[in-house]
Chain A
Amino acid sequence: MKLLRTLMAAATALAVTAFVAPSFAADDPGPAAYAKALNGKRVMLVPLAMGFDLAQGWAHYLKKEVEAWGGTFETRDPNWVVDAGAQAITDAIASDTRPDVLIIHAPDLNSYSKLMKKAQAAGTYVLLVDNPANFPADAFVGSDWDKLGQLEAEAAIKGCGENSSKKIGLVQGDQANSSSLYQYAGIMKVLEKHPDFQVVAKPDSNWDATTSRNVTTTMLQQHPDICSIIDFWDGDATGASAAIRDAKLDGKVFLVTTGGGEKAADCDKLVDGTYGAVVMTDLARQSGDMNAIIKFLLQSGQPAGTSHTYIYTLEKATTKADLKPDSCWDLKALQAEAAAK
């Protein structure tokens, strides 16, 4: 802490000196144009809720960057309620302090489409993050869920190995969310290429750990020889892992899931063997992509709604074997950092 403060003080001092001293870099038109385009701009993030690792991670990285270039960063927390999210967006568009960039984490394919169109009409750039929607946003930043599903399936096949029962169980999210639907499609694509592997059951968890546990328990009873289970989200995969523990099949069933790469949620669980493999999103890089496209859009001068960029984040299935110290980001550390300010 003390070190940090000293560093910051030093940095400030340096900046002041740099500002005061006549600088030959003043000739570079870049910083001035950059500041002119970005200064005072507003960025708003409307995730599904602020209460989970991904949203908190994004908010952290975005806030740091946006405030650094003199913008205002705000979040809205609909707490998983779609109507509340819709209203938050509506209010934001109609308010005096209309954001220049709206980053939306869509709950499903449809609900916000019309509002996003309205936002663009009002002159606000719309960024979709993580969940795709049936709307041509200015940019989409997030996972290619289809690809992600393929990675999961490949990890599961690898986890099972050649001499296994080759039975795979899926614990899906629900039948409405695009991330769940596309993941499933991706998994199926891979499994088509491996006809010897079969999906024996594919219940839904409704993103709830208790439900995940119950359905997994039943699945394991019906098919005790399952070699791998793919749970569609680390938020409820704890339930599936509990069921595996209950059935005393730890180590025998290879649990694959996906998540935001948070340390406690993913890496720690890989270390203790709860998960066999996690397809992790590199959150810092994803946030970096968002920052870059925001900066680009604000300087581009093109009207909102004219560009349609897709930036898919690099995904990688991580197992205990290839775990590195920097494989995960630590939410606790970010929070501590935020609290220290």
Chain B
Amino acid sequence: MTFRERLQAWRYNLVPDHLVGEILTKRWTDNAIPFLALVATLGVFGSIIPGFFKLTSLQESTRQLGEFSLVVIGMTVVMLGGGIDLSVGSIFALSCFSAVYVFFILEQSIWLALAAALAAGLVFGAINGYLVGYLRLRAFLTTLVTFIFGRALFDILVTAYAADVQLSQASSDVLDFIGDGTFWGLSVSVWLAIILAIVTHIALTRSRPGWHVLAVGGSRRSAHNAGIRVRRTVFMTYVFSGFCASIGGFLIACRLSGAGPGTGLNLEIMALTAAVVGGVSLGGGRGSVVKGLMGAIIVLTMTNGLIRLGYGTGTNQMVLGILLAVAVTIDIRWLKNRHKVLNEVYVAPVYLKMGETQSAAPGSGTSYELDNRLSAADHIGLGELEGPEDVILDRDDHLYCGTRHGEIVRFFAPDYKRSEVFAHIGGFPLGLAFDRDGNLISCVGAMGLYSVSPDRDVKRLSAETARSWTSIADDARLRDPNDCDIAPDGRIYFTDSTKRYDAHDWALDSIENRATGRLLVYDPKDGSTKTLLDGYRYTNGVCMAHDGKSLFFAESWACRVHRYWLEGPKAGTAECVIRDMPGYPDNINRASDGNYWMAWLGMRTPSFDLSLRHPDMRKRMTRRLPQDEWLFPNINTGGVVKFNEKGGIVETLGDLSGNAHPMVTSMREHKGYLFVGGILNNRIGRYKIEGADPNWTSPASYWGGKP
């Protein structure tokens, strides 16, 4: 290995580039930018202002934050529903006044004051909701006008009653506690904001009404057509916003024991700014309560912090303007370009030097030498089938295969001219196996392990395994279950080829060549799924050895076959039995003579082998070239290989014409014939094997003769 190659190997195999892509696929990265802004804001002001984080100081300074956060939560919900509520400031002020009026002038109890504040907020919210929701008026204009209306009303009321409020002797311990007290170190307003935030978050993400809000915000028309009561949902968002603002108003009434002409002024712009800085999108559908809260903290810390630092008029607005512009621009660009960035960085190839191999060229004289025998195979279902990855025959000689359309098709014996859809599963059924009771077990690409009973009942056996602790991407989910086989005790051993790509992106996995393939086992007794082996380059075919004590599995991109011991001294370990083949192995199945059949989905090429030693080149290739110009494994020539118990190659069959079976992904021996399938083929081949046992069948080999 040259020094350059060694460097490349270290660079690409040790640096976990793939994690960047995996992190980017996470939904929570949506919050990354507002979160960073939040940390930066708190960090900067916390370090400049002495005593910023002191508990008593925080208790006081967060009272306003609690009130403001409540308003922002309401605004967030309205924005998520595709609207906007500019009247929050007016609702806030009117609710504050209502509470003050009831408490100080009517001298009623504080709870009646709360009820009055809530009533004011709900009524105002309901008016907004009725106008915008039921009358379908435009939210911006409508709430703008109701804002002016509410403000004017408040100014009139506060002017008329301000003096009376001051003359009032009413007082209440509860009011003082709400306004000044703390509970477990936090003020009442902060507690209320936290509780409301949690409730709202759960309602939005885990309840029907919450989903309706998001659906209406995401696409109003689709929501309407899907039968969601759009108008009522919109109505409710404004009522909720009014509710939130009214609690805020009540709290400020308690805190300041009065209402003044300035109460709630400019609150709508502040709340809007907060929601936007947090990353709630205008026009609906994207955002969360958490985002709104982050925005609220950023905006309020910033404005109060600058005032506390003694900066003059304007500095606040200047900083806020810059913050808003930068936050929104980054957020928008991020949203727009995230998938582009993801496409750019997701594929993170690793270095691999493939071993020298024997030639498979016709006339080379090796045991891998390809011939033209498969071109003589009969065809079954020509033109009807799309993508029979695996084929299997039952005790009654009927032929089954999966198709690209998520169906399992059955061809009837003896001539295999007639066919029917045996079962529809979905996904892409790949590996097939019959269990002792005649249930058809299938690995379904992108879905999991499924069982189809003879009565065609489809049952999901497994779709996930235990998640590994260190993974960033969710590796519990089975992304590409590929082939399965069943041990004598009924346990199902199956492979999941890659953790990084979905089944149809197998080409990308081959280019990346990262070892993330797994061997798993499903235990029908308790329904559990366990990961046995991890870290292979595209695990593929699985086949139980004739004695049932071990199994073979193929590692496609490394061109190797391994044997995994189920019992005996090496139980639970794997050893490589065939290495450095000239072709990429796929499914493996039993042969009648005690050997094993193995499919080659394609042949190695010197060019791709070379590219595996140049991960940088492959990375550039995926970024800069269109997909149809990528270099990836040759799948235009394949074949069928027979190997013995020890891994020795017995013979190789091929189709040099390339007409019938250029690529083989599976083959199954049955009564002297070899049935051949290919994932990109449009037929199943039937090849008469010379000298094979004409009575040998696979079900009998596994489960004994007919009961």
Contact = CB atoms under 8 A, between A and B. Distances in A.
Asked if chains A and B are in direct contact (CB within 8 A), the reply is yes
Interface of A: 49-51, 74-88, 90-97, 107-115, 118, 134, 174-177
A96 B304 CA distance: 16
Contacts of A82: 260-263, 265
Interface in B13-68: 49-51, 54, 56-57, 59-61, 63-64
A229 to B, nearest CB: 23
Contacts of A88: 304, 307-308
A311 to B, nearest CB: 22
B179 interface: yes
B262 A93 contact: no
Given A83-B264, A109-B163, A111-B258, A96 B54 contact: yes
Contacts of B314: 79
B363 interface: no
A96 B51 contact: yes
A84 B313 contact: no
Interface in B205-264: 252, 255-264
A75 B256 CA distance: 22
B519 interface: no
A77 B261 contact: no
A78 B307 contact: yes
Nearest to B300: A87
Contacts of A86: 64, 256
B258 A95 contact: no
A113 B262 contact: no
Contacts, number: 126
A79 B57 contact: no
A84 B64 CA distance: 10
Contact of B63 (A85, A90, A174): A90
Nearest to A110: B258
B61 A51 contact: no
B269 to A, nearest CB: 11
A176 B155 contact: yes
B266 interface: yes
B262 A111 contact: yes
Nearest to B51: A96
Given A83-B264, A113-B258, 4 more contacts: A91-B304, A94-B56, A109-B166, A111-B259
Nearest to B305: A91
B664 interface: no
A50 B262 contact: no
Binding site of B, secondary structure by majority: helix, strand, loop or mixed?
helix
Nearest to B59: A94
A88 B266 CA distance: 16
A115 B260 CA distance: 13
A50 B158 contact: no
Interface string B294-330: 0000000001100110111110100000000000000
5 contacts: A77-B312, A82-B261, A88-B304, A113-B257, A176-B159
A109 B162 contact: yes
Contacts of A80: 262
A51 B303 contact: no
A95 B265 contact: no
Contacts of A111: 256, 258-260, 262-263
A277 to B, nearest CB: 28
B262 A91 contact: no
Contacts of B308: 76, 88, 91-92, 95
Given A110-B162, A114-B255, A177-B261, A84 B61 contact: no
Contacts of A85: 262
A176 B161 CA distance: 10
A108 B256 CA distance: 13
A82 B54 CA distance: 25
Contacts of B264: 83
Nearest to B100: A110
B293 interface: no
Contacts of B263: 82-83, 111
Contacts of B313: 49-51, 77, 79
B165 interface: yes
B307 A83 contact: no
A108 B261 contact: yes
A94 B61 contact: yes
Contacts of A51: 312-313
A87 B256 contact: no
B262 A94 contact: no
B256 A77 contact: no
Contacts of A81: 262, 265-266
A329 to B, nearest CB: 20
Contacts of B63: 90
Contacts of B162: 108-110, 176
Q: Which 10 A-B pairs have the closest CB atoms?
A: A82-B262, A111-B260, A96-B51, A94-B60, A110-B258, A134-B166, A176-B261, A108-B260, A175-B159, A79-B313
Contact of A87 (B180, B260, B304, B312): B304
Contacts of B159: 174-176
Given A109-B163, A109-B166, A176-B158, A90 B61 contact: yes
Nearest to B165: A110
A84 B261 contact: no
Contacts of B260: 82, 107-111, 176
B275 to A, nearest CB: 18
Residue with the greatest number of chain B CB neighbours at <10 A, chosen from A95, A96, A174: A95
Nearest to A177: B261
Contact of A110 (B51, B56, B166, B267): B166
A113 B260 CA distance: 11
A156 to B, nearest CB: 25
B312 A108 contact: no
A114 B60 contact: no
Given A76-B310, A95-B51, A87 B265 contact: no
Nearest to A96: B51
A87 B261 CA distance: 16
Nearest to B49: A95
Interface string B528-568: 00000000000000000000000000000000000000000
Interface string B121-160: 0000000000000000000000000000000000100110
A75 B310 contact: yes
B253 to A, nearest CB: 10
Contacts of A176: 155, 158-159, 162, 260-261
B41 to A, nearest CB: 16
Contacts of B64: 83, 86-87, 90
A90 B304 CA distance: 10
